[in-house]
C-alpha cells in the first residue's frame, strides 16, 4: 500500500528521504565552514608571498624576477579568500615590491646594455659604467634581506615598511 504524505512549504528544501543528501552544489560553489569550526581552513598571514621573492637569488637577471612576480601574484589570487586583513596587506606589499624590483632591474640592465652598445666604455674605468651592475647586485642583496625580514614579521602578524616599492597594486 502506498501512503501519501503532505509536504509543506517549509519541507521543500529538505530531501524526502533522510539518507538522500539532496541536490549537489554547483562545482564552483564553495562551502567553507566558518572560522573556528573543526575542518575550517586556517586564516593565512601572507608570509609565503615574501618567501616567493627569494626566487630572485637564482641570479638570472630578468627571468628570475618575472618568476618571482608570477609566484607572488599566483599566491595572491589563490589565497585571497583565506587571508586575514593584515595578511592581505602583507601580500599587497610583497607584490608591489616584486613588481618594483622587476622594473628597477629591467631599467638598470637596459641602461647597461645601451651604454655597452654605444661604445662609450672603451677607454673608461669600471666605476662609472660598472655602477649600474653594482646597483643591481645591491638590489638583489636588499631583496634577500627584505624577503626574509618581511616573512618573519608577517608570521607574527606585523608589517614591514618597503621604502623603495612603488604602489602599483591596491
| Gyration radius of the chain over CA positions | 26
With contact defined as beta carbons under 8 Å apart, do 75 and 60 qualify? Answer: no
Most confident by average pLDDT, 21-25, 118-122, 166-170: 166-170
What is the per-residue pLDDT for 35? Answer: 53
Beta bridge partners of 44: 83
> For residues 151 and 167, what is the distance between their CA atoms, to the nearest angstrom?
19
From the list 59, 94, 100, the residue with the least C-alpha distance to 74 is: 94
Burial, 148: exposed, middle or buried (Cβ in 10 Å; 0-12, 13-18, 19+)?
A: middle
Q: Name the DSSP class of 13.
A: G
> For residues 45 and 27, what is the distance between their CA atoms, to the nearest angstrom?
27
pLDDT at 69 over 90: yes
How confident is the model over 105-114, as a mean pLDDT? 89
How confident is the model over 49-56, as a mean pLDDT? 92
Proportion of the chain in helix, strand, coil states, percent, rounded to 5? 60, 0, 40
Each residue's pLDDT tens digit, 79-109: 988 999 999 999 999 999 999 999 999 999 9
- Mean pLDDT lowest for which of 37-41, 101-105, 147-151, 158-162? 37-41
> For residues 167 and 170, what is the distance between their CA atoms, to the nearest angstrom?
7
10 Å Cβ neighbour count for 91? 28
Domains of the chain, by residue range, sit at 43-155
What is the per-residue pLDDT for 21? Answer: 54
Amino acid at each position: 500500500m502506498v501512503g501519501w504524505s503532505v509536504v509543506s512549504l517549509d519541507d521543500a528544501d529538505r530531501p524526502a528521504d533522510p539518507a538522500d543528501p539532496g541536490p549537489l552544489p554547483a562545482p564552483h560553489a564553495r562551502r567553507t565552514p566558518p572560522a573556528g569550526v573543526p575542518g575550517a581552513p586556517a586564516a593565512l598571514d601572507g608570509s609565503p608571498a615574501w618567501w616567493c621573492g627569494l626566487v630572485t637569488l637564482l641570479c638570472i637577471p630578468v627571468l628570475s624576477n618575472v618568476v618571482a612576480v608570477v609566484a607572488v601574484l599566483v599566491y595572491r589570487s589563490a589565497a585571497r579568500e583565506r587571508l586575514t586583513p593584515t595578511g592581505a596587506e602583507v601580500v599587497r606589499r610583497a607584490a608591489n615590491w616584486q613588481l618594483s624590483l622587476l622594473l628597477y632591474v629591467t631599467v638598470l640592465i637596459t641602461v647597461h646594455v645601451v651604454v655597452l652598445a654605444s661604445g662609450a666604455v672603451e677607454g673608461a674605468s669600471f666605476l662609472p659604467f660598472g655602477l649600474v651592475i653594482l646597483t643591481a647586485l645591491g638590489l638583489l642583496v636588499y631583496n634577500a634581506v627584505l624577503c626574509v625580514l618581511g616573512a618573519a614579521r608577517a608570521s607574527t602578524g606585523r608589517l614591514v615598511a618597503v621604502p623603495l616599492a612603488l604602489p602599483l597594486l591596491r
